[in-house]
Chain A
Amino acid sequence: MLKTPPGRTSKAAKAWPLVVFSVGGRSLAVKAEEVLSVLPWTDAIPVPSGTAYVTAVLRHGEDVLPVFDLAAKLHVQVKGSKPLCVIAKRKDGPMALCIDSDIPALQTVEASTVKPAAGGSDITGFCMVGAEEVPIYSLATLGLSVSQSRS
């Protein structure tokens, strides 16, 4: 019976696979487990809404997904002539985000190298991507902190 050398499993469990992409030229990362898919962006359908940053839906075949305007939250404009769509995996159902046209990259970081972020925000930590410190956003809770702070 093969045995994993002691310590290897614990090291692997502390590595975070991340998807790194950009919005408005700003790099950010999310946990790969929170990304269902990355697709070409199609035009969003506006919906009258009083929910911060959730003001449209997007049709993906027969599916209708809510759109979270991450660019507006970051006060930037999506860049590129062919933006992409990240479908986020969430407990309340999948949600679409428009990102820059640059192809996202996969990167694994050691959990021990992630700098923690202040509680109550959508950022769970910061990691180094090359020489750049990149925030790690939680797609699972994106937007909830805005509503909770106002409730």
Chain B
Amino acid sequence: MSLRARLATAVPAVADEQFLVIRSGGGNFALPSEIVRGILPFEDAPGTETVPFQGQDLPLRNLAGRFGWSSRPPVSETKVLMCGAQETLRAFVVDEVCGLTDVPATAIRSLPPHFAGPERGWFSGLFLFRDAVALVVQPSWLLGHVTSAPALVHSEPPPSEPAAASIVSTRETSAVPSRETPAVPRRETPVAPIQETPAAHVTSFGGDSPEIVELEEASDAEDTPWADL
């Protein structure tokens, strides 16, 4: 799906927030567009452990693994996502890039208070996306120090739908959720202003050598080089 084919909203939004929605480990995750620095087809990555970007060799990590979910084998839709804020850069393998979407701020909901564990620090909220939901990832957490995900209740790939007679299986963990209904802010503000990147250039995927599309800030994502991906 071309990123240019953005998801339309029925009503013109007064204050929309722009996200790049991706799929990883069976779930939809929304990343604030301002932290997305580049997208590369997985098959074009020069290695399976690192990817060169802006003079650095960024360790590759599956985004699902960041949440403690199992990763899936790469397929044709698998992409490498370069994300960053200020001088912090991270590279994540995702199953699929669904596209850019503008979401009214009023459409972003808080995670239900029944979720009382570390996930409250991972996600700032969620919104309806197609027939499911997209979880808004906290940029500060995503770009933070990459450590092993805490023990999760669900550490196996979720079953593929439909599964009429089964729901997500769980097991007890040592997680210590707090049930004191913390005051969850509806959304966090984006991270501090991002260091400007060199001028973007449009590249085509494939060919003999991998080429990374570097992203630049633009008032309208349709004008960005990587909107044609």
Contacts and interface: CB of A to CB of B under 8 A. Distances in A.
Do A and B belong to a common assembly? Answer: yes
Interface of A: 41, 43-57, 59, 62, 64-69, 71-72, 77-83, 92-93, 95, 98, 143-144, 146-148, 150-151
A72 B153 CA distance: 11
Contact of A148 (B126, B131, B179): B179
Contact of A50 (B112, B164, B177): B177
Contacts, number: 139
A45 B173 CA distance: 20
Interface string B174-197: 111111010000000000000000
B42 interface: no
B209 interface: no
Interface residues of B, number: 47
A48 B178 contact: no
B173 A50 contact: yes
Contacts of A80: 165
B147 to A, nearest CB: 14
A27 B18 CA distance: 47
Nearest to B127: A64
Interface in B32-67: 67
Contacts of B27: 45-48
Contacts of B175: 50-52, 150
A121 B152 CA distance: 22
6 contacts: A49-B117, A50-B150, A51-B119, A51-B175, A150-B177, A151-B177
A52 to B, nearest CB: 6
Nearest to A78: B165
B170 A53 contact: yes
A43 B161 contact: yes
Closest 4 CB pairs of A and B: A50-B117, A48-B67, A46-B158, A50-B175
A68 B154 contact: no
Given A52-B177, A72-B170, A151-B176, A81 B165 contact: yes
A130 to B, nearest CB: 25
Nearest to B178: A151
A76 B68 CA distance: 24
Nearest to B68: A48
Contacts of A151: 176-179
A54 B114 contact: yes
A41 B168 CA distance: 13
B27 to A, nearest CB: 6
B167 A69 contact: yes
A65 B112 CA distance: 7
A49 B27 CA distance: 12
Contacts of A77: 165-166
B119 A49 contact: yes
A49 B154 contact: yes
A139 B191 CA distance: 39
Contact of B164 (A41, A71, A143): A41
B135 interface: yes
